[in-house]
């Protein structure tokens, strides 16, 4: 059944008018918005935007965190046939210029004063940005700018118009067709200007419904919307699937209260990238290290049991009577309280995607009774390409193709996808569109991988990043930097990794420590430090990281394909890699090429055999000021291992 987002909203408002659609936490209290209230809000905003001059086919920028009124504005724009373009709320003003110019944006809705300031700065370069509306008026009382107005004013004007023209909204919403453009999402732009990924109502709703059908989602689900709405994953989970299923989306009060809000909401359907699951586990392990001896002993005993039998139990396999009784006891004493502490006591389905998740991390969550699974997709595929069925979740695959998806592997190992959820085009970029979409409908993912014997997809790395070692004992061996980086990031003490080795004789890496985890580790050993830079260069920290590197090397030695990717040398960076400094994308992906150029002296020192290297780096602070961070970095060698020959 083909439909559109405005039609789905009106359907829920008609069939379940008083059922909660969204909740927002404000001043510590959860406020409910029913489906009928959401529909009325959308109607009034749409009427206000129509009066202000927003036209069919025009783009409108939305910048802010997850807020009911921001989602309502997206729906209002779509009801008029306009196209919402969500942008990252933590992006600098300069990063917003290209999308706003490229999409010829005149209208913007932003969350608060910070985003208003950003848009006013952008307007100096983009004079066509004539209408800026804000949701939160705090700090904006004395702002007098042309075209700047509160969303409340727009709502009030729209309400009057709706009263005078009661049929206008439904007539406009009825004109919107499934094949019309519904939204545009800009890619992170790791290798140049970001590209506007154009999706229709049909592509987004089709994939939302396919995912819902796969996991039997209903209107009874509870979801916490805490990731950036500009990221297509959050948009699918808290917008497309919200409207497809009619479940409740909960918006946290702020980024700093997400952990508390997670416990209060107790979502049944949960999504987070691996770094969030890593952060939650790290905080648990830090607290357990500080617990009393009896609690620590009990925790370790039952976690050992969970590691042995939990994953098998989660997969529906028999674990024996004794283990069943012990696990039930562990559930009362450890696993249940732990799930509750993580805010996952009610989770029925949890997904992770975006990066590979460590096997130990993956097993930990499944072992304590959380149905954590992996999925595979991208902005261009409207997320859902592969999903892991219940009882078939494994850390080394990303699942099986979901409804409507075909997958094939090209001769160079690239994954090609055919799906009803593929992008319509890259906006104003036919050359880039032609590069990724074939004439017969196949999408080039740029990911290298293969289908295993069980029909599950395995991803190795980006096709362009898979390289070869040149020279030395491993001459000609495959080098997969992302694979190496992810294996190192599986350790809780390591936050980010940048690996180099293509067309070189060996692999070298630059590492960011996890400041919280390593800081706690140092404090328990009475190791003093004066901040990140000082801690990162401690001899004891280097020994800790070296152990992690050598464990990864031992694992790689057992992998016939990637044994040549073992790490020979490493250093610990003096600062955390940061999106504001251009080192990460807004979705926290490492910009390896940019980092290699920025830290060329460090790369040269790693490959030049040096034992230390001085570096001075300009950093940008949150308030826009810049400063310098300098240090003399140690460079260490790591032990590598002879490849393990497979048994005949």
> pLDDT of 304-331, one tens digit each?
999 999 999 998 899 999 999 999 999 9
Last residue of a domain, one of 434, 463, 492: 463
Q: What is the rounded average pLDDT of the residues 630-645?
A: 92
| Average pLDDT value for residue range 460-488 | 86
Strand, coil or helix: 81? coil
Residue 1 burial class via C-beta count within 10 angstroms: exposed 0-12, middle 13-18, buried 19 and up:
exposed
| Residue 648 reports pLDDT greater than 60 | no
Average pLDDT over residues 36-56: 98
Look at residue 419 in the predicted model and tell me its pLDDT.
97
Please say if the pLDDT value at position 465 is more than 90. no
- Residues 448 and 496 placed together within one structural domain of the fold: no
Specify the CATH number for the domain of residue 295. Answer: 3.40.50.12780
In a domain, 265, yes or no: no
Q: Quick check: is 173 in a domain?
A: yes
Q: What's the domain range around 209?
A: 5-215+229-250
Residue-wise pLDDT tens digits, 5-25 = 999 999 999 999 999 999 999
Average pLDDT over residues 429-433: 95
* Percent over 70 (pLDDT), the chain: 98
> Among candidates 324, 229, 339, 223, which has minimal Cα distance to 280?
339
Q: How confident is the model at residue 647 (pLDDT cuts 50, 70, 90)?
A: very low
Q: Give the mean pLDDT of 215-232.
A: 95
181 lies in the same domain as 318: no
Give the pLDDT confidence score for residue 191 in this predicted structure.
Answer: 60
* pLDDT above 60 for 490: yes
SS3 121: helix
Residue 646 confidence (pLDDT) above 60: no
Task: Based on the fold, state whether residues 332 and 386 are members of the same structural domain.
Answer: yes
Asked if the structure places residue 41 within a domain, the reply is yes
Q: Indicate whether 305 and 355 sit together in one domain.
A: yes
Helix, strand and coil in the chain, % to nearest 5: 40, 20, 35
Alpha carbon of residue 367 to chain centroid: 24
Cβ–Cβ under 8 Å, residues 517 and 601: no
Mean pLDDT of 97-112: 96
Residues 396 and 333 both lie in one domain: yes
**Rounded mean pLDDT of 373-381?**
95
Q: Tell me how far CA of residue 438 lies from CA of 94, 251, 418, 431, 432, in angstroms.
A: 34, 39, 10, 12, 11
Residues 6+ apart with CB under 8 A from 597: none
Over range 396-417, report the average pLDDT. Answer: 93
CB-count burial class (<10 Å; 0-12, 13-18, 19+) for 32: middle
37, two tokens? 């209230």
Same domain, 181 and 304: no
- Is residue 161 pLDDT above 90, yes or no? yes
Q: How far apart, in Å, are the Cα atoms of 531 and each of 297, 311, 366, 388, 576?
A: 32, 39, 35, 41, 12
pTM, two decimals, is: 0.82
Do 189 and 300 fall within a single domain?
no
* pLDDT tens per residue, range 175-204: 999 999 999 999 876 567 899 999 999 999
Helical pair 5-15 and 168-175, crossing angle rounded to 10 deg: 130
241-261 residue pLDDT tens: 999 999 999 999 988 899 899
Q: What angle do CA 244, 424, 238 make, to 5 degrees?
A: 30
Q: Measure CA of the first residue to CA of the last residue in the chain; give whole Å.
A: 54
Domain count, the chain: 3
284 versus 554: the higher-pLDDT residue is 554
pLDDT at 399: 94
Do residues 48 and 83 share a domain?
Answer: yes
Cα–Cα distance measured from residue 395 to residue 353, given in angstroms and rounded to the nearest whole number: 11
Contacts of 414 (CB under 8 A, 6+ apart): 444, 445, 446, 447, 448, 463
562: β partners: none
Report which of 279, 270, 277 is spatially closest to residue 249, judged by C-alpha positions: 270
Indicate whether 478 belongs to any domain. Answer: no
Residue 154: which CATH number? 3.40.50.980
User: Same structural domain for residues 335 and 235?
Assistant: no
Average pLDDT for the chain: 92
Domain presence at residue 266? no
Q: How many Å apart are CA 508 and CA 583, to the nearest integer?
A: 18
Average pLDDT of the segment spanning 93-104: 95
Residue 648 domain-assigned (yes or no): no
For range 476-485, the mean pLDDT: 87
Residue 259 lies in a domain: no
State the pLDDT at residue 189.
64
Closest by alpha carbon to 545, among 521, 575, 577, 576? 521
Burial of 317 (0-12, 13-18, 19+ CB in 10 A): exposed
Q: Is residue 267 part of a domain?
A: no
Closest by alpha carbon to 406, among 422, 423, 418, 421? Answer: 418
Distance CA 53, CA 74 (A): 16
Distance of alpha carbon 65 from alpha carbon 118, whole angstroms: 15
pLDDT at 600: 96
Q: Are residues 278 and 419 in the same domain?
A: yes
Nearest to 584 by CA among 297, 277, 280, 354: 354
- Higher-pLDDT residue of 243 and 483 is 243
Same domain for 139 and 19: yes
598-622 pLDDT tens trace: 999 999 999 999 999 999 998 887 7
Residues 512 and 424 in one domain: no
- Listing DSSP states for 128-142 in one string gives T--EEEES--TT-TT
Mean local confidence (pLDDT), 558-564: 82
pLDDT the model gives residue 571: 97
The pLDDT score that the predictor gives to residue 645 is 66
């Amino acid at each position: 059944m083909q439909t559109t987002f405005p039609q789905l909203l009106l359907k829920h408002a008609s069939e379940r008018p008083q059922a909660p659609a969204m909740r927002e936490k404000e001043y510590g209290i959860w406020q409910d918005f029913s489906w009928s209230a959401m529909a009325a809000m959308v109607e009034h905003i749409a009427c206000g935007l129509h009066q202000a001059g927003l036209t069919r086919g025009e783009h409108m920028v939305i910048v802010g965190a997850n807020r009911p009124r921001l989602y309502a504005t997206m729906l209002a724009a779509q009801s008029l046939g306009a196209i919402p373009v969500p942008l990252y709320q933590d992006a600098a003003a300069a990063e917003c210029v290209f999308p706003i110019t490229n999409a010829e944006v005149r209208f913007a809705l932003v969350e608060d004063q910070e985003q208003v300031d950003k848009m006013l700065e952008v307007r100096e370069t983009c004079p066509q940005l004539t209408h800026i509306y804000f949701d939160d008026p705090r700090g904006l009382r004395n702002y007098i700018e042309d075209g700047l107005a509160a969303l409340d004013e727009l709502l009030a004007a729209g309400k009057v118009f709706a009263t005078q023209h009661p049929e206008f909204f439904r007539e406009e919403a009825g004109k919107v067709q499934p094949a019309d453009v519904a939204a545009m999402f800009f890619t992170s732009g790791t290798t140049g200007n970001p590209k506007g990924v154009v999706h229709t109502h049909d592509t987004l709703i089709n994939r939302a419904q396919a995912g819902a059908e796969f996991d039997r989602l209903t209107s009874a689900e509870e979801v916490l919307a805490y990731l950036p709405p500009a990221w297509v994953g959050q948009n699918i989970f808290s917008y497309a699937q919200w409207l497809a299923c009619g479940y409740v989306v909960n918006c946290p009060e702020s980024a700093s209260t997400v952990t508390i809000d997670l416990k209060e909401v107790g979502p049944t359907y949960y999504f987070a990238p691996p770094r969030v699951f890593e952060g939650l586990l790290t905080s648990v392990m830090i607290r357990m290290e500080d617990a009393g001896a009896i609690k620590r002993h009990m925790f370790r005993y039952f976690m050992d049991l969970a590691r042995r039998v939990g994953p098998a139990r989660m997969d529906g396999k028999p674990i024996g009577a004794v283990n069943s009784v012990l696990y039930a006891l562990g559930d009362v004493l450890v696993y249940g309280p732990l799930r509750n502490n993580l805010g996952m006591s009610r989770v029925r389905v949890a997904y992770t995607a975006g990066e590979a998740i460590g096997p130990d991390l993956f097993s930990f969550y499944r072992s304590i009774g959380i149905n954590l699974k992996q999925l595979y997709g991208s902005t261009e595929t409207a997320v859902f390409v592969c999903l892991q069925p219940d009882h078939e979740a494994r850390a080394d695959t990303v699942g099986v193709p979901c409804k409507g998806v075909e997958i094939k592997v090209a001769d160079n190992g690239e994954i090609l996808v055919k799906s009803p959820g593929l992008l319509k085009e890259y906006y104003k970029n036919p050359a880039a569109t032609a590069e990724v979409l074939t004439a017969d409908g196949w999408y080039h993912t740029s990911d290298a991988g293969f289908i295993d014997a069980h029909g599950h997809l395995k991803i190795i790395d980006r096709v362009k990043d898979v390289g070869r070692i040149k020279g030395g004992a491993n001459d000609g061996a495959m080098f997969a930097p992302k694979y190496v980086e992810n294996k190192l990031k599986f350790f809780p003490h390591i936050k980010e990794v940048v690996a180099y080795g293509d067309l070189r004789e060996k692999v070298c890496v630059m590492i960011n420590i996890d400041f919280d985890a390593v800081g706690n580790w140092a404090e328990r050993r009475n190791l003093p430090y004066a901040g990140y830079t000082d801690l990162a260069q401690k001899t004891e920290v280097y020994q800790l990281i070296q152990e992690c590197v050598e464990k990864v090397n031992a694992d790689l030695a057992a992998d016939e394909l990637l044994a040549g990717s073992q790490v020979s040398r490493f250093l610990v960076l003096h600062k955390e890699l940061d999106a504001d400094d251009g080192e990460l994308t807004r979705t926290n992906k490492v910009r390896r090429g940019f980092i290699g150029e920025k830290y060329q002296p460090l790369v040269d020192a790693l490959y030049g055999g040096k034992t230390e290297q001085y570096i001075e780096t300009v950093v940008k602070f949150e308030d826009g000021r810049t400063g310098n961070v300098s240090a003399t970095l140690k460079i260490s060698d790591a032990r590598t291992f002879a490849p393990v020959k497979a048994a005949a």
